[in-house]
Structure 1
Amino acid sequence: MIDLVLVGIGTGNPEHLTLQAIREINAADLILIPRKGPGKTDLADLRQAICAHVLTNPDTRIAEFDMPRRNADDPDYLKGVDQWHEAVAGAWNATIHENLPQGGTVALLVWGDPALYDSTLRIAARLSPSPRVRSIPGIMSLNMLAAAHTIALNDIGAPFLVTTGRQLRDHGWPQGVDTLVVMLDGECSFQHLSPDDVTIYWGAYVGMAEQILLSGPLTRMAPQIIDARDVARARHGWIMDIYLLRRTRKPRTM
């Protein structure tokens, strides 16, 4: 029997791991670390660095595996994601059974929190035989973004919405909210909005040594953010960014 523990590791800074996360890492028989290709070796290296920082159990083994890639050109987005999840589940299965043929506890280190815009819980449900799954929460990038910019996520008594770049690009600003947190945006989808009366708080690699922060009126900041993003991606080979958009509330008329 396999126990699978999905451990939220925040944004990759070992100082942001919870005590529960550290305990689960040390209780595991095996830690899985995905390799995402030659351009993203830093991601595997960061997970290895976290293990080197907090892992004290000499019996815990670490196994890297090649992460299947999603076909981003598939016009059927949901079908492409489904096929990708199936391939990832196969890679997990193969690595687990190769390293723990008699069963045991497996930990998978998950960026941020497994519950927010992450696929690991859905992929875990595809494993066969089905493992016992537990999820350990981690600091989310939206928390780190707010802390880095020293802002509150919501206005007084007002809601905010967490969405994706794809949704923002295809459907525009949602009705009923003045604050948006946008994740998984590889195209700077704020370019498709009217920038009037909008302030943006943008961050890349938030919480990490490479952290970049930019904020201000969207009319002025949009080209700066696009340029900074391109430079950072070229330098590191990958980028993780997130941003908050806030519209100025117009005064009510009597």
Structure 2
Amino acid sequence: MPRLAAALRGLAVAAAALLTVTVVPSSASAGTQAGTAAGPSARPKEFVALRDVDPTVIQEMRYVTPHTFMGVPVDGYLRPNCLLTRDAARALHRAQLSFLKRGFSLKVYDCYRPQRAVDHFVRWAKDLGDQRMKGEFYPRVDKTRLFDDGYIAAKSGHSRGSTLDVTLVRLPAVPTRPYVPGEPLTPCYGPEAARFPDNSLDMGTGFDCFDTLAHTLDPRIHGKQRKNRLLLKNGLERAGFENLPEEWWHYTFKPETFPDTYFDFPVE
């Protein structure tokens, strides 16, 4: 344990040092872009790669892989790289420092999401014949209900750059095994041992689970699963993030750098 504690302190110090070098205050002109959409290649200077701000946060970027609710990689994800507005990345760094001291690390599944990715979700949701991943991600939801029930929408806060999907991992972390396309699917809301394996704490459902059990404070979630959700929620709220009540993994840093702008540059 002394060695682990020393290693964690070293990671925190290194991340803090890196932050002072790579992070500068946000431009005051950011708000003037509200209501506009940037071109495909126009990545604003207010966006940063999370690993340049805090390399200790684990990144398991799902949408560049076929392990998605669509069963294919998502349009616009060219590299497994978490991009965020600088303000959101700095806040996540602060939260990470507090979790490292307790023997945990944050792990991100998704960060900035280009509009073309959201458009891909919409096209998939309208294709009622494509239900290859239903057995894992939405076993109890009819695909015709995805829009009405709020699981799919034409716009996403992720496209504004200050929203991310995140969980907690106990250190030392053991990597999650790769998904094998075509492997048998199990419900995302099943017991931890029956779900697709994930190195995160047991949150009661898997990531991107289209089910009411994924609601952060659903009363059916109790014991260690509720404790783990609240551990994540309380730590991120202290750093300035707000949770989406329908998804235990979904957090937005407030105030957003771009509260009304939906970007479409690729993740690379």
* TM, length-normalised to structure 1: 0.26
Greater strand share, 1 or 2? Answer: 1
Question: Which one has a bigger Cα radius of gyration?
Answer: 1
Give the number of the structure with larger relative contact order, counting CA–CA contacts within 8 Å between residues 6 or more apart.
2
Superposition TM-score, scaled by structure 2 size: 0.25
